[in-house]
Amino acid sequence: MTRRSRNLIIAGLAVALVATLGFYQLKGWARFEEQVNRLALDLGKPDGLIQTQALSRLPRDMLAVPMLKDVLSEDFVFYYEQNEDRLSLSGSLRRIAYEHDLQWQDKLLAWVLDEPAEIAVWRDGKGALAHYMIALSRNELAKALQGAATIALKDSQLTKALDIRVGGDDVPVLALRYGRDRTLLLASRGDRIVILSDPGMLLSAANKADPAAEAILVKLLSASATDQHFLDQTFDLPTTAPTHRIALSARYLSFGYQHFFPALDAVRFDFSDGQWTSAVRFAGKAGIASEATARALPARPAACAWLPMAWPDAQAAAAAARPALPRLAGTVAACWYGQSELHMPLFVAELATDADAASDKALADLFAWMVKGNDVEPESKRKDVAMWQRYTDAPYGPRSEDDQHYYLPTLARSKRIVVFSPDDRLVNQALDTLERRYPSVVDSLPAGERGTTLAVFTPTALASLTRKAVFATLPRAEEPTLHDAAQTHLLPRLKALEKYPAFRLQLPRGADATGWQSVDWQALPSQP
């Protein structure tokens, strides 16, 4: 198993993000004309933006977080030195430098990875952050690229793609092919350099510059400091420059569902003076915890978050497809539990008014529209509770080899609280929690500060959920190598994770205001 595969399993999203920036899975110049139309990227709206004093130091500095230090492997720190794409690119640059008597050596990669830079990233068709654009200022690198334009007409791997007009100058855009069908675009003017991970980010199927993409490239190559950093405006970033800054849009983090909670705009992580800090940007009312929904959440979740829902937008979307939603208000809580599955969260919302026959009919119609299958008569009869269950046409399957009880997608309403999960056990546990037969998340939150809670998570339950999800997708009979690798490398990391206490993410008081809000990670004295 390669180092890269092992890191992806161990580090998850963090490794995927850094791997993306390590020249990840680039498409080939030879296949460019067939693939460009599928990119359709807006270079003015990246899914993520990284500002760093040195990209190569980012993996090591992430280990300043004790939990990440325990969870991530040593390979994560040395990723750039060992990355397959870097080795392939380095070999191509050495070959070009040798054949054309250039003094490049390995300096080009060092200049990119060890200097201040901005890196914008975009999702590909599979949702991975596979497309990137690097912009930086470096005289030596700029001069090297400008000199490279003179050999672009006589080299098999370095060619000129086109010229663009920047401030009255014709600037060549070079295409550097390396590895197996991988290509970078590079442009330089003055001391400014821009690197694009895929020709399709700039060029059309006819190999002509897309006007909107070209305008972005012109700004990044201009002499104006405002134009050079205009991508900061996408995230409304502070003017202070930390050692590292990672900003991710809610468009990326919400997996396409941001339409329903547009108030959540972005998240940000800053690293300065050896410490990481977190912030969340709201474009409307913050998604802070509703005590009513928190009281329905069973204790010890793997993770819970409160989402600031835009119920009128959700109502409009549902009305277009019928049936209409009942009137709901406030935030939605989404929680995952170690005793269930990663793809079976628990959702809790609140009716805007007291339940009546009309609201129950709306819920029943909504459930029938969402879940196709055969209705099941609920086994339990609870006071002031309405419940709907169905066996689906394609059942989720047994919970385990020893438990032949199939999962039942279940929707329930207890007074004004609405609960849904594909796992009926979570819904029943939530109802028990509302009836005070089981402790709730709210019981562990500090009194008087419950309304400032954005999210909570329990490392022990999170480790259990991760362990179950990984080995469910890597059965030994079908994936013996990956299964054994996960046993060797993943399980010790999850064991290390389990020693940490539960945390809550706390917003400042009065966080209903728009803009960036700091997030404090607070250890909870008891399990949430």
pLDDT at 1: 37
Instruction: Name which of 22-36, 146-160, 378-392, 469-483 the model is least confident about.
Output: 22-36
Q: What is the pTM of this model?
A: 0.76
Contacts (Cβ under 8 Å, ≥6 apart) of 326? 351, 358, 359, 362, 363, 366, 418
Beta bridge partners of 275: 272
CA atoms within 13 A on the CB side of 87: 6
**String of b and e for 78-106 (b: at least 16 CB within 10 Å)?**
ebbeebebbeebbebbeebbeeeebebee
- The per-residue pLDDT for 247 is 93
Taking 60 as the threshold, does the pLDDT of residue 11 lie above it?
no
Answer for the pair 395, 409: CB distance below 8 angstroms, yes or no.
no
d(CA 490, CA 164): 48
Question: What whole-number distance in Å separates Cα of residue 432 and Cα of residue 426?
Answer: 10
Residue 8: CB atoms within 10 A of its CB come to: 14
E strands in 396-502: 410-414, 417-421, 453-457
Lowest mean pLDDT among 92-101, 178-187, 193-202: 92-101
Across 363-378, average pLDDT: 85
Instruction: Look over the chain and give the mean of its residue pLDDT values, rounded to a whole number.
Output: 77
Question: What is the phi/psi pair of residue 452, to 5°?
Answer: -100, 5
447 has a pLDDT exceeding 50: yes
Q: How confident is the model at residue 75 (pLDDT cuts 50, 70, 90)?
A: low
Q: pLDDT by residue (tens digit) across 403-440?
A: 555 678 999 999 999 999 999 999 999 999 999 999 99
d(CA 51, CA 260): 29
H-assigned helices in 156-253 = 211-221, 225-228, 232-235, 250-253
